[in-house]
Structure 1
């Protein structure tokens, strides 16, 4: 794509939290529309923006709005499930279906670019920032 790299790992960070025998592995990525973010034998595809009713930054609105995006979850290249994620104040969804012994959670951090009233955003311009957490038992 022209506007973002296919898969930009902005940061891959492993952090241990003081929760007895558990730790959290975190992955951060920016994914363009129709592109994949791959980890282990799984992938998340940012399929498309379904709706974007976020209030343009150069307009005063009564409601902040929201954006809905469709994600596809793949394992070993095969589609497991499609999910619609709504970006507003509560962007967390659980991806427990990715592994019975592994616990995953996905948080949509941002959808860029943010709307302005003078420009209609093309589908190819969208980029989704995500954080994927995997709980690892030691």
Structure 2
């Protein structure tokens, strides 16, 4: 019986491959498990708030304080205007008792909401969406500062 050396090499390579195949499979599963556990799990928390002028909304040791209506040039609802106008408000951001700064927000009359990131104030991923400023102007009444209410939504991505 003659043995062909070319066939022997192929048989040897096949046997080595068959021995390493389970080890490669286990190693691949191990790497997959490590990468899956290393990913941060994130949870989204949402807060809805309505505050009057001068009031604050507190959440997770943070505070959004509705300080002032700087401008309210929104077109009254009972008039047809060439320009829609806008409202500008001032909010102050706190973490604990410490003021982190003030932010001027512009709300357009033809825009339902205005979304901005508060990442400049916090390390966390935090967005605030200003939903409305009420009451909406009418020509028949003057809005007193104490009547203003700000509605907003805060979305925070919390990594666990």
1:25 is the counterpart of 2:45: yes
Shift of 1:132: 0.4
1:56 aligned to which of 76, 79, 82: 76
The two structures, once aligned, show a CA RMSD in angstroms of 1.5
Secondary structure, in 3 states, of the residue corresponding to 1:96?
Answer: coil
Larger radius of gyration: 2
For residues 77 and 44 of structure 2, what CA distance do their matches in structure 1 show?
Answer: 35
Q: Which runs of 5+ in 2 are unaligned?
A: 1-39
Superposed CA deviations along residues 39-91 of structure 1, whole A, max 9, x for unmatched, are: 01110000010000111000001111110000000111221110001112261
Return the TM-score normalized by structure 2. 0.70
Equivalent residue for 1:120? 142
Superposed CA deviations along residues 2-42 of structure 1, whole A, max 9, x for unmatched, are: xxxxxxxxxxxxxxxxxx94332110000100101000111
For residues 60 and 97 of structure 1, what CA distance do their matches in structure 2 show?
Answer: 38
Secondary structure, in 3 states, of the residue corresponding to 1:79?
Answer: strand
For residues 57 and 158 of structure 2, what CA distance do their matches in structure 1 show?
Answer: 20
Q: Which runs of 5+ in 1 are unaligned?
A: 1-19
Instruction: Give the 4+ runs in structure 1 shifted more than 4 A.
Output: none
Equivalent residue for 1:93? 116
| Number of corresponding residues | 118
For residues 128 and 33 of structure 1, what CA distance do their matches in structure 2 show?
Answer: 8
